[in-house]
Amino acid sequence: MSSKFIYLKRIFPGVTLALIFYLFSHGINNVLAIEIFGTTKSPISTVLIAILLGILMGNAFTPRPGMMVGLDFTQQYILKLGIIFLGIRLSFEEFIKFGSIAIPLIIVCIVGVLILIKLLIKKVPISSKMSYLIAIGTSVCGATAIVATAPVINAKKTEIAYAIANITLFGVIAMLVYPYFAEWYFNNEELKAGLFLGTSIHETSQVAAAGLIYDQQFNSPETLNVATVTKLIRNTFLVIMIPLFAFLYNRGEVKDKSYSILNIFPYFVLGFIGMIIVRNLGDQIFTIEKGNNHFWISFIEYLKILATAFLTMAMAAVGISINLSELKSMGYKPFLVGLIAAITVGFISLIYIETLSKFFI
């Protein structure tokens, strides 16, 4: 029996469970809309239902270790595949437009959080390593940034666990709340809402889920597109921030050369851009060959459906993996720093969007 077949057999139960949660959440969404509210759209999105069900089931019943292998695979790989497929929704012009607007906002948010964390640790005594991890997790890309930064500053396992729990808690809260806040605050201004979601929520999966919630509830695909582009550009700042943190932490000491840009670069960003290329080439080809246009339109819609399904499966897996009792046992000081950092990055994003929108938006 080949090793690939054995691996597929190991991940199958967890991936199937995530798929079942997606289908079940979709069914609940339809029941809420048609049977209870008598509308075409439920007031609670499929993604939101999936993660809440995941949290409920994951804490009511302890998932078996064998199940977690597939759930971890769903969070890592099926999530990234879903994000890559989101690229089929965009044109080159939109990608360049959204990216050029997002980059200055991302830089302002990163600098603002770093300054805040530096000031906070003087008032709230936590280790400098913990502060670095919370800062990069909040400002760049969540748990991925924390895991990538930890080796270059020699962070302890407990510090890594605290920082990831911190990012998970506030990122999930933001993911559930911010789509509705953004609609209320920005009053259906899609570009501004997307920029806010893309800069103020920690994890890539959380941003994608928040964008999907916004799209599903307020019929705004552009907000999802802007949020996704903003977050993926934000992720690439790892290439700058990891060496910077290594330099700051190791000043005056032997420099740690254990990190590599090739290892920390989020390659699924390239997949996302590749899918944009596929979309734009396809549009050109099938515009010329109008007889095959129906096939191309169907193909695009199919990938959009797959993107939604994969992202919803990933969020169900995230929900199942969240252990509320572990979060409760970790103490309040790091969480206080994380809460203030999360609120601050959202506030900076709002201020930037409102005050400089006439120049950049």
CA distances in angstroms from 230 to 12, 144, 149, 173, 250, listed in the order given: 33, 17, 21, 20, 31
For 33-59, the pLDDT digits (tens) are: 777 766 666 667 788 888 888 888 888
Contact 35, 278 (CB under 8 A): no
| Sequence-separated contacts (24+) of 97-101 with Cβ below 8 Å | 98/191, 98/194, 98/225, 98/226, 98/229, 98/230, 99/229, 99/230, 99/233, 101/191, 101/195, 101/360, 101/361
- Which of residues 193 and 246 earns the better pLDDT score? 193
User: Can you say how many angstroms the Cα of residue 295 is from the centroid of all Cα atoms in its chain?
Assistant: 31
Say how far apart CA 37 and CA 56 lie, in whole Å.
24
Say how far apart CA 23 and CA 31 lie, in whole Å.
12
For 91-134, the pLDDT digits (tens) are: 888 888 888 888 888 898 888 888 888 787 777 777 778 888 88
Residue 288 confidence class, pLDDT cut points 50, 70, 90: low
Cβ neighbours of residue 262 under 8 Å, at least 6 residues apart?
none
Q: Global pTM?
A: 0.83
Residue 143's pLDDT is what? 78
pLDDT, mean of residues 168-178: 89
Contact 291, 70 (CB under 8 A): no
Say how far apart CA 281 and CA 303 lie, in whole Å.
16
Residue 24's pLDDT is what? 92
Residue 252's pLDDT is what? 46
Residue 254 confidence class, pLDDT cut points 50, 70, 90: very low
| 233: amino acid identity, one letter | I
Say how far apart CA 71 and CA 57 lie, in whole Å.
13
Cβ neighbours of residue 131 under 8 Å, at least 6 residues apart?
117, 118, 120, 121, 337
Choose among 102, 51, 67, 81: nearest CA to 271. 81
Choose among 84, 81, 133, 139: nearest CA to 109. 139
Say how far apart CA 172 and CA 175 lie, in whole Å.
5
Q: Which of 203-212, 251-260, 304-313 has the lowest mean pLDDT?
A: 251-260
Kindly report the average pLDDT of the chain as a whole number. 83
For the chain, give the percent of residues with pLDDT over 90.
25
